[in-house]
Structures are given as C-alpha cells and as structure tokens.
Amino acid sequence: MSTLSIGLLLALLGVAGLAAGSIALSRWLKWNTRERCVRSLEDVPIRSRIVVLGCRPRLRSGRTNPYLIGRVASAAAAYHHTPGRRILCTGLFDEAAAMAAALDAASVPRTEIDLDEASGRTIESIEFVAARHKDESILLVTQPFHMPRALFLARWQGLEAWGLIASGPSPGLRSRVRERLAEFRAVFDRVLG
C-alpha cells in the first residue's frame, strides 16, 4: 500500500471516528437534558424568566426566519399562559430587537421584555443570564436540535433551567454539522477548558 493510500485510509478513519463521536455526544446531551424539557405550558415553572435564544431574523432570501417565528410564538404562548413573567430576548445586532418587536406584535407588553444585544453565541447568552438572574428559574426557548446544548450550558452555569421546545423546520445538513461542532465546543469549553 502506498503512503498516499495509507494517508487517505487514516483520514477516512479519522472522519468516521469524528462522526461517531459527534453522534454519541449529541445523544448524551439529549439524554442528560431530556427531563428538563417541559411537555406543555402546564409544566412550566410559574415564576420562571423566559429566555428566547437568538437567531437571525431573516433568511438570505429575505423571508422571516421560521426559527425566529417558532421561538417568538412559544415565548408569547408561555407569557400569555402566565402573564407577568419577564422575557429576555438575546442575540447580536437586530436579533434581540426583532424578537422583541414580534413579541410586542403578539400582545406581550414591551415593558415585560428585556434585551441582551451583545451575545452572539449561546454560551454568551447563558453567561449573560447567569450573571444577572442566577437566583431565578429560567425557561429557555429554542428548537429541539439546539435545546440540549443550551440546557447543558445553563445547568453547567448552575441555573435552574428548563426548556420549552419551539416549532421550526428540521435543520439541514449545514445546520446539523454546525450544531455538532458547537456541541463539541460547548463540552470542551465547560468540561475540559
């Protein structure tokens, strides 16, 4: 076997090992956070602060991001189920403001909405919440593919965190790969970092 063939075989084995490790890590995160996801609004802790995790408001096509629509709809439903809860919208630049505007349009009083416009990553959003609301119960709102990592990071920060699953399309290959890499980074940063 030539050196090139051996190198190619080792590279393929490395990619296969990374893929298997990524799947195992993703399943471990889901398993460890599954009991923290509420199944209905009846199960939401009464005094929890609602934290809507950021995402781009618009797709490249200019259409409203369906993930943002799902997150806002779930956060508004939780708010209306038990009015008076504070809502925190996170995300860089126009992300948090776009979610706040959509919540306002969904009849959530603007006076009940706070913004974190400086967090560009989930870990930054969680650190923002931990620095300001450590003693509060937190209800994270995001899609199923993102929730295990978000809950893992929140629990690692010592937050009493729960997850409310928002609707949205299944992520494409690019988003799934991005999330797998983000899961590795989250575990590495928290556990090994």
Number of domains observed in the structure of the chain:
1
Per-residue pLDDT tens over the stretch 111-123: 999 999 999 999 9
pLDDT at 47: 85
Per-residue pLDDT tens over the stretch 31-41: 778 899 998 89
The tokens describing 111, both together, are: 């006076």
Q: How confident is the model at residue 1 (pLDDT cuts 50, 70, 90)?
A: low
Let me know if residue 114 belongs to a domain.
Answer: yes
Q: How confident is the model at residue 18 (pLDDT cuts 50, 70, 90)?
A: low
Residue 137: phi and psi, rounded to 5, are -75, 140
DSSP string, 52-91: E----SB-TTSSBPHHHHHHHHHHHHHHHHSTT--EEEE-
CATH number of 134's domain: 3.40.50.620
Let me know if residue 3 belongs to a domain.
Answer: no
Let me know if residue 26 belongs to a domain.
Answer: no
d(CA 124, CA 185): 13
Query: In which order are the strands placed within the sheet that holds 137-142?
Result: 37-38, 160-165, 137-142, 49-52, 87-90, 113-116
CA distances from 172 to 65, 140, 183 (A): 14, 22, 16
**What share of the chain in percent tops pLDDT 70?**
86
Let me know if residue 91 belongs to a domain.
Answer: yes
Pick from 184, 154, 144, 191: which is nearest to 25 by CA?
184
pLDDT at 7: 55
Let me know if residue 23 belongs to a domain.
Answer: no
Let me know if residue 124 belongs to a domain.
Answer: yes
| Surface-to-core class of residue 188, CB atoms within 10 Å of its CB (0-12 exposed, 13-18 middle, 19+ buried) | exposed
The bridge status of strand 87-90 relative to strand 137-142 is: unpaired
pLDDT at 180: 79
pLDDT at 160: 95
Q: Are 129 and 88 a contacting pair, CB within 8 Å?
A: yes
Per-residue pLDDT tens over the stretch 39-90: 889 988 888 999 999 999 999 999 999 999 999 999 999 999 998 899 999 9
**What is the span of the domain harbouring residue 97?**
36-192
